[in-house]
Amino acid sequence: MAYKRPESVLVVVYSDQHQVLLLQRKDDPEFWQSVTGTLEDGETPAMTAFREVKEELGIDLSDDPMAIIDCHTVNQFAIRPRWRYRYPPNTYSNTEYVFCTQISQSATIILTEHLALEWLSKQQAIERAWSPSNRRAIEAFVPEPKS
């Protein structure tokens, strides 16, 4: 098995209705998250963000280089002990680059790596997202509805 690189992206997906898309992991149904994925050799974080949206949601945004926004936020977090075997020995932390994108709630989403999806209010998504970095990204980068 090839080890995963301890660098990943987090792509917060929200709609024009200010709903946040969360995905339920297959390997841990209690774990709800935004789109995530590991950087592959030769990829920049932005390239990974576009690839992961396409792989996880079946939505190709590559025609518009501005479709996914770099939030200029980089997180460091401890890799969950149950997942450390996927990384090189003695690798305990991951670097995560944060992005966001807006899509229509009516867009056809094809789940390939998750059990389920839900569109939630910003507050519901903050409460449901498993990882602290995902919760902080939703709080910081999903716009509030205009009054």
Question: Does the annotation list 4 as a binding residue?
Answer: yes
- Residue 106 lies inside a defined structural domain of this protein: yes
Q: Is the pTM of the predicted complex or chain greater than 0.85?
A: yes
The domain in which residue 67 lies consists of 7-141
Consult the annotation and say whether 8 binds a ligand.
Answer: no
Residue 1 in any domain: the answer is no
Q: Residue 146, annotated ligand binder?
A: no
Using DSSP, how many helices (H) and how many strands (E) does the chain show?
3, 7
Where do we find the tokens 């790596």?
113
146 found inside a domain: no
- Would you state the pLDDT for residue 81? 93
- Quote the pLDDT of residue 135: 98
- 2: in domain: no
Contact 20, 138 (CB under 8 A): yes
Residue 56, annotated as binding a ligand: yes
pLDDT of residue 147: 67
Per-residue pLDDT of the chain (147 residues), as tens digits, is: 789 999 999 999 999 999 999 999 998 889 999 999 999 999 999 999 999 999 999 999 999 989 999 999 999 999 999 889 999 999 999 999 999 999 999 999 999 999 999 999 999 999 999 999 999 999 999 998 876
Does residue 118 lie in a domain region? Answer: yes
Question: Per the domain annotation, does 86 fall within a domain?
Answer: yes
What are φ and ψ of residue 18, in 5° steps?
65, 30
Radius of gyration of the chain (CA): 15
Count of domains observed in the chain: 1
Determine whether the annotation assigns residue 15 to a binding site.
no
Residue 72 placed within a domain: yes
As a whole number of angstroms, the distance between CA 54 and CA 77 comes to 25
Q: How far is CA 94 from the centre of its chain?
A: 14
At 102, which CATH number?
A: 3.90.79.10
Q: 3-state DSSP call for residue 119?
A: strand
Residue 71 belongs to a domain: yes
